[in-house]
Structure 1
Amino acid sequence: MSKQNQYIPSYLDAENPGPWGIFLEQVDRVAPYLGEFSEWVGTLKYPERSLIVDIPVRLDDGTIAHFEGYRVQHSLNCGPGKGGVRYHQDVTLSEVMALSAWMSVKTAVVGLPYGGAKGGIRFNPRDYSKAEVERITRRYINEISSVIGVDKDIPGPDVNTNAQTMGWMMDTYSMNAGQDCPGIVTGKPIAIGGSLGRVEATGRGVFIVGVAAARDAGIDLNGARVCIQGFGNVGSTAARLFCELGAKVIAVQDHTGSVYNSDGLPISALIEYVNEHGGVAGKPNVEEITNDEFWALETEILIPAALEGQITKDNAHNIRARIIVEGANGPTTPEADDILTNNGVVIVPDVLANAGGVTVSYFEWVQNRASFYWSEEEINQRLETIMDNAYTAVSATAAEHKVTLRTAAFITACTRILKVREVRGLYP
């Protein structure tokens, strides 16, 4: 058994640990840089709590269906757990564990007083009515209510969940608690305590660190080429902001296909088309290219903003981007990471690049607790300050240790987490 597999929980496949195995490899890579805190590194390799729940729901046709739900709390050392809930037919425990761990790193990188958590339900919401999705959501929150709380673990939106989903979650928890609990989730509608700027926060954060990385690389963004995989809130927001700065988005790929225009895609029109048709495929007056051709395009900035594991050893050799800004969680495998680094590609890692979402979620939580709400301008200014400072710190660590930005981000975050663990000690 390899050293890595010693840390695979017994309920996962030791030979194929999936995304959790990727996270463990990332921890192993950063361990030599942790110095006096290295004895605590095992803290990062075991999630504090992994909950699997059954979600029985009566469907519209009167039948009863069962769904599998998860809530994993990786680390609560630095504060309450924080992390979204995703609805997807391919969600696995390994994936949710890894996502919770990346949330621990992400919140620590930007200095938020949170730990890492994540949730998911294994189903495709597109196959169910709105009423069925609501019943699934409410039963899920009821089943995990013992491990979440305003000061314990705060869910938020993720893949295939949105403000309405959060509204159902908040209402369900509040009804059970017998009082209004707006701070139990973030990403809520504005009417029930949501924060201005939350919808665009992740994409805006990707844009902020992308601009900083381009500046460090000496890239003039006026006329620079940008390619984006994934065109939901994150990808479309980043696309719009880069275009406003003078860059041109030459290609977009999503689950329906890939579209291309060497002179730049009409982003506003593309956003409207996707909202109406559900994907980029079929957009008039643009060229459709294959997914393989998308990855091989020459570009200054590539933004993977879809699901994890999209850039692998099979396509990394073909990538001709100068900078990759990871809008998605875990889009690059460790093997691909090595290939891209050897080819001189700068990668701004997910735990830094897409931390804008959790940062504004933190703002929402703070506003809920204070019952005092900020303007969107103030929120965007605070977000820019935090993201800029985090990028500057990670970049300085990378230069100090002569490592990649990903390793530097993990050094920064893991040191913060383990320092807290050492100060708190072990109980009993």
Structure 2
Amino acid sequence: MSTTKKYNPYDNVQAVVKNAASILGYSHDDYEAVLFPERELKVSIPIRMDDGSVHVFEGYRVQHSTSRGPAKGGIRYHQNVNIDEVKALAAWMTFKCAVVNIPYGGGKGGIVCDPSKLSDSELRRLTRRFTAMIAPIIGPDQDIPAPDVGTNANVMGWIMDTYSMLKGHCVPGVVTGKPLELGGALGRHEATGRGVMLTTLNILKALDIPVKGSTAVIQGMGNVGSISAKLIHKAGLKVIAVSDVSCGIYNPEGLNIPEIIEYLSAKKGNLLKDYKGDGVSYISNEELLELKTTVLVPAALENQINEKNAKKIQAKVIVEGANGPTTVEADEILKKRGIILVPDILANAGGVVVSYFEWVQNIQSVSWSEEYVNERLKTIMDQAFQAVWDIAREKDTSLRTGAYLIAVKRVVDAKNLRGIWP
């Protein structure tokens, strides 16, 4: 019988928090409350399918912390969604918001489903019923959802409309990542990928690695991966490999990223396995992660770099576009091998930063230009990177530990200043 412990992303979160708290000199009482989500809601969502049958889906909304402000975090539609994953993602949001110092806590939601197998009308009914069932705990002052894996601006529009119908008036600030016509923010669609690009340039500069001649490999071609690829390519790095669920494609001379993105977006269902490009060879996602490159951007799902493959990674730098793509065990292996890793709570925080900008515009009824949004995003990402880089060097730790030293301190201090009620 196998004794291999099942991967639990929430264990990962707790291990990193405990390590940071120890370095900060906190007692267990200081940070005990931060180890647990404040609220977990599980709902059963009955939906009338297009064929007339009724199917019950399982959904979750978890609020990890509201010590520094309303909970903030995406809603994921994926067949592998489970409560431990949602709890971990909610906690990562808490620390992500803290490391870039925006006034939010962390939340996350999810529905166990395969959106690719649902019609638009089924997705709309599922979204509306789920929104109605979590409505008591969300709102612009309580918990503000956003898009994540398997969801998009249209889904956020349905959530906003459903919540507004329940309230009897328009409430655009209940979600971010909405269509522009419904109060979405210019620059939000590209924000996470733009943050990954800015972080990539920041880490190369910090390590004195020139952009010219540097290569990049990107796992995942969803919103984060495709925009990261587009902007990293535009910044001057040679993108030699990308992947989606079907396979990876590789060309050591560099891929035609604009052409690949145009192909993938031309028709729903287009996959890289059917892309025909000059000099392209087809590889697995596993092989892609192990390619020799300057920068590796895992921008798919969690648990991609683990103790099984960490010894085979050949990248000089890893910039985490996804949430939790690297396990605690892999972190240790990479550190010993001298591979620099920029953690998710810093690298992919661009999305939540611009979500914050969108929320501010909604609740104040103002509108900002895309140039202004991108300038403010760059300022915040640059400042956060520098703070993490400086404390990691000062304490002689990894960048992940450095990011958590900043984030955990902000969250724990806020919690303790507020005290335990009653």
Q: What TM-score range do you get, normalising by the shorter chain?
A: over 0.9
Which runs of 5 or more residues in structure 2 are unaligned? none
The alignment status of 1:264 with 2:254, answered yes or no, reads: yes
Pairing 1:255–2:245 present: yes
Distance 2:399 2:321 in 1: 15
1:360 matched residue in structure 2: 354
Aligned twin of 2:281:
287
Deviation at 1:139, TM superposition (A): 0.3
The question of 1:274 aligning with 2:261 is answered no
1:63 to 2:53 alignment: yes
Does 1:131 pair with 2:125? Answer: no
Q: Deviations over 1:313-354 (max 9, x none)?
A: 111111111110000000001111111111111000000000
Alpha-carbon distance change, 400 to 38 in structure 1, aligned in 2, over 3 angstroms: farther
Q: 1:7 corresponds to which residue?
A: none
- d(CA) in 1 for partners of 2:350, 2:75: 17
**Number of residue pairs matched?**
414
Shift in Å, 1:36 = 4.6
Query: CA separation in 2, counterparts of 1:150 and 1:246?
Result: 39
Whether the 8 Å CA contact 1:250–1:264 is kept in 2: the answer is: yes
Whether 2:338 is the aligned partner of 1:348: answer no
Question: Residues 187-238 of structure 1: CA distance to partner in whole angstroms, max 9, x if unpaired?
Answer: 0000010000000000000011110001111111112110000011211111
Question: Which sections of structure 1, spanning at least 5 residues, go unmatched?
Answer: 1-14
1:16 Cα deviation after fit: 4.4
Q: Is the 8 A contact 1:37 1:415 kept in 2?
A: no
Q: What corresponds to 2:312 in structure 1?
A: 318
Is residue 37–residue 422 contact of structure 1 (8 Å, CA) maintained in 2?
Answer: no
> Secondary structure of 2:62's match?
strand
1:33 and 2:27 aligned: no
Letter in 2 for 1:25: A
1:23–1:39 CA distance, 2 compared to 1 (3 A)? same
CA contact (8 A) 2:219 2:289 kept: no
User: Bigger shift: 304-313 or 33-42?
Assistant: 33-42
**TM-score, normalised to structure 1's length?**
0.95
The one-letter amino acid of 1:270's match is I
1:175 matched to which residue of 2?
Answer: 165
- SS at 2:232 equivalent: helix
What is the alpha-carbon distance in structure 2 between the residues aligned to residue 68 and residue 170 of structure 1?
21
Selected match of 1:225 from 202, 215, 222: 215
Q: Give 1:323's aligned amino acid.
A: V
Aligned partners of 1:204 and 1:237 also within 8 Å: yes
Correspondence for 1:9 = none
Structure 1 residues 269-278 or 416-425, which shifts more? 269-278
Task: State the Cα deviation string for residues 17-72 of structure 1 (Å, max 9, x = none).
Answer: 71111111112221212225653211221100000001011111111110000000
What does 1:27-426 correspond to in 2, within 5 Å? 27-36=17-26, 39-275=29-265, 276=267, 277-285=269-277, 286-426=280-420
Deviation of the 1:178 alpha carbon: 0.5
Aligned-residue identity in percent: 50
Alpha-carbon contact 2:221-2:299 (below 8 Å) kept: yes
RMSD value over aligned CA atoms?
1.1
So what's the TM-score if we normalise by structure 2? 0.96
Q: Which amino acid aligns with 1:213?
A: I
Moved over 4 A (4+): none
Q: State the 1:306 CA deviation.
A: 0.4
